[in-house]
Amino acid sequence: MPPKVTVLLSVYNGERYLQEAVDSILNQTFTDFEFVIIDDGSTDGTRSILDRYTDSRIVRLYNDQNIGLTRSLNRGLKMARGQFIARQDADDISLPARLAKQVAYLEEHSQVGVLGTQIKLLNRLGLTIDVAKLPASHGLIVWTLLFRNAFAHPAVMMRKSILDQVGGYDPSFQVTQDYELWTRLIGKTRFANLLETLVIHRRSWGSVSARQAEMQKENAHLIIQRSNSWLLREDVSTNCVEWVNKSREPHCSLTNEQIRQTIAFLLDLYAALRDRELLRYNELDEIHTEMLDTIVIISRCMSHTDRIRTYWWSICPRPLWRAIRVVTALLNLLRGKFFGLQCI
C-alpha cells in the first residue's frame, strides 16, 4: 500500500546541516510517509551521512553529476508514490507536528492543492532573524503572487495529482522554480498557508539564494511579467510591480507619474481578477482592501520636490486663477492708494 505522503529532499554538498534536516522528518508525529532523498552529485560527506540511516522509509537516489535542484526534484516526483508531496530542504528543520497538521488540513479541504506554513528565519549563526508573515487565504495568495512569491518552498505540501497535471517543475528555471510553478497553478487549484509556524528556514551564505541571487531576480521578473500579462491579456512590463515592492521600503521616493501609473495598474489587475471570475466574492473583498492599503502606501512615496509642488498647487490649483488673484490684489492695493491720495 502506497504511503500517504512523499517527503522530497534534494541535497548538494549539504553535509553541515543535513543530519538535522533528515532527523526532523524522521521524528514527525505523522509516520505514514516515504522520504525520497536525492543526492545531486555531492562531493563532500553528504553520501556518507545518508548511508548511515537504516530507516526503511528513506528512498535514496544518487545523481552521477550535479544536475540542479529543479531536475532533481522532477526526478524525485517520478519516483514518488504518495498522495501528497511535502518539500524539505537540506538545511531546514520541520517541527514535529508539521506533516500531521498539513495532511489534516488537505484532507479536510479537498479543493486546496498547495498548502504552506509560516516559517521562522535563522541566520548562519543559528539566530532568529524574523518570522515570515505569509498570506493565509487563497485570494490574498493569488494577489501576492502577482508581485512576489507567497510560499516558503521548503514548507509546502502539494497534491501529487495537481503536479502531474501541469508536468511538475519547469526545468528551464534553475532557481525560483517554485514561484514559477505556483503562478502556473493559478486558476487550476486553490492555495492556503497555515497561520502556524511549522518550519525553521536557515539562510546561509552557501545557499542557492546567496549564490544565485541575480538569477533569482531575473527569473522573478520574468515570472511576474508572464503572470500579469496572462491575467491582463496583454504584454506588460514589471515597472509598476517594482514600484509596488519599492513602496514598502523605508524612505521610498516615487514621482507623481510613477505613482499614477502604479495605481492605474493595480486597478487594472483587480478588474481582471473580477472579470475573469477566478475568485469568490469574499476573496475579491479581501483583495480590494489589500489594494486600497497598497495605494495608500504608494501615495506616501511622493518625492520631496513633488510634495512641495503639490502643496502649492493645492493652494492655487490652476495657474489662471493664481494670475487673476495676483492681478486683483495689485489692483485693489493701487486703487486703495489712489483713492487715499485723492481724499487728501
Averaged pLDDT for residues 20-44: 97
Give 161-173 pLDDT, tens digit per residue: 999 999 999 999 9
> Count of CB atoms within 10 A of residue 213's CB?
12
Summary mean pLDDT of the chain: 88
Residue type, 87: R
| Tens digits of residue pLDDT in 47-65 | 999 999 999 999 999 999 9
Question: Cell 491579456 sits at which residue?
Answer: 233
| DSSP, res 153 | G
Name the class of domain 5-211. Answer: alpha beta
Residue 203 is predicted with a pLDDT of: 74
Percent of the chain, pLDDT > 90?
A: 73
Assess contact for 175 and 217: CB atoms under 8 A: no
Q: Which residues contact 185 (CB under 8 A, 6 or more apart)?
A: 113, 114, 162, 166, 191
What is the pLDDT at residue 105?
Answer: 98
Cβ–Cβ < 8 Å for 130, 121? yes
Q: For residue 204, what pLDDT band results from cuts at 50, 70 and 90? A: low
Cα–chain-centroid distance for residue 297? 19
Output the pLDDT for position 229: 95
- What percent of the chain has a predicted confidence (pLDDT) above 70? 84
Q: Confidence band (pLDDT; 50, 70, 90) for 138?
A: very high
Tens digits of per-residue pLDDT, 292-342? 999 999 988 876 555 545 444 445 555 655 565 667 667 766 665 544 444
Q: Where are the domains of the chain?
A: 5-211, 237-299, 304-343
Confidence of residue 76 (pLDDT cuts 50, 70, 90): very high
